[in-house]
Amino acid sequence: MKNHILGALYGLAIGDAMGMPSELWSRNKVKSYFGKIETFLDGPQSNEVAKHFTKGQFTDDTAQALIILDSLIETNFHPSKHVIAEKLLKWANHIQAFDKEILGPTSKAALQAIKQGQDPKKITEKAETNGAAMRIAPIGCLFRSNQSDKLINYVWQVSQVTHASDIAIAGAAMIAGAVSSAMEKKSWNEIMHDTIMIYNKAIGYGTETFTPSLKARLKLGLTYAKQFSNDEDVFADHIYDVIGAGVQTSESVPAALSIAYYTKTVERCAVFCANLGGDTDTIGAMATAICGAKQGVDKINKDYIRIIDENNQVDFNHYTQYLLKFREDVGG
């Protein structure tokens, strides 16, 4: 399990950092500016979000995932909305996330409300963006694939500080569930089947919204993956043009799951997502975490591991030890 937990954590960081320079740029702009991203790069000064980051640095996706873990470690993995909110707000203030536009729209609004002593419920219940899903991958490491009910309930408890809508919870549960199944060395078809089954249950959590079906969009993405198995560019075009690559959960989660299914390895997945256009760092973080969970850290490019270690002051072994320790306690 340690090998696969580390794979998920490094996959998360690698996809995030590789996708950082092109974050929130259109597919055409990414192509015209970079040609093709094939390695870790500095954030361009012309990118209002990425300009604050340098080569190999991960963004708020991985940072918030680790803050969630720090919060859980403090409470012996019994989720506390108060502790999670407190740590997220402390981190956001420390890195000037509000001023630098580093936060996603829903997390920013929810945390600002908390900062001002207001109830963020009106914001969190309408949350349709991917803030909950982008940071949830490590939670999948706590559960076996036959513990979907416990996984969904845990995702709900962890996420509702900033995201409490049905689609936000379902999207996050799908990403966590895919990581959980991938760790067990299931086939990619089995992983996607498990993920769809989780959606069927998780969509009942949170406040109801009128958003597209994540399940329907994922099934369409998987159809494209099979149809264009020998043409990566055409597959990418269909993901970008039809499924969508924006910050909405209804776009980015089925896109990430479809891409993980298509690319299968951390290296290919990270590069693919970085060049996709749209919310490249978040889609990269989610998709590549799933690939890393399946591969295990020992099969990930050692140069990628080194670059992440050298450019981020994080000890992933520290978090892995806690995830291993509480895997049986939480999952049961």
| pLDDT tens by residue, 307-318 | 999 999 999 999
320 is in an annotated binding site: no
User: What single-letter DSSP state applies at residue 241?
Assistant: I
281 is in an annotated binding site: yes
Residue 284's domain comprises 2-331
| pLDDT tens by residue, 55-113 | 999 999 999 999 999 999 999 999 999 999 999 999 999 989 888 888 889 999 999 99
Q: Write the CA distances from 169 to 22, 45, 56, 124, 128, integer angstroms.
A: 27, 34, 29, 11, 9
Angle between helices 188-202 and 249-263 (to 10 degrees): 160
Q: How many domains does the chain have?
A: 1
pTM reported for the whole predicted model:
0.97
Q: How confident is the model at residue 294 (pLDDT cuts 50, 70, 90)?
A: very high
Termini Cα distance of the chain: 16
Burial of 328 (0-12, 13-18, 19+ CB in 10 A): exposed
Q: Write the CA distances from 302 to 32, 66, 247, 266, 285, integer angstroms.
A: 30, 22, 30, 11, 18
| pLDDT tens by residue, 181-202 | 999 989 999 999 999 999 999 9
The encoded tokens of residue 244 equal: 């969508």
Query: Which of 88-97, 150-159, 288-297, 323-332 comes out lowest in average pLDDT?
Result: 323-332
The encoded tokens of residue 247 equal: 């910050």
Rounded Cα distance between 27 and 46, Å, is 16
Rounded Cα distance between 143 and 330, Å, is 8
60 is in an annotated binding site: yes
* CATH number of the domain within which 319 lies: 1.10.4080.10
303 is in an annotated binding site: no
Backbone φ, ψ for residue 207 (5° rounding): -80, 135
Asked if residue 2 lies in contact with residue 316, where contact means CB atoms within 8 angstroms, the answer is no
309 is in an annotated binding site: no
194 is in an annotated binding site: no
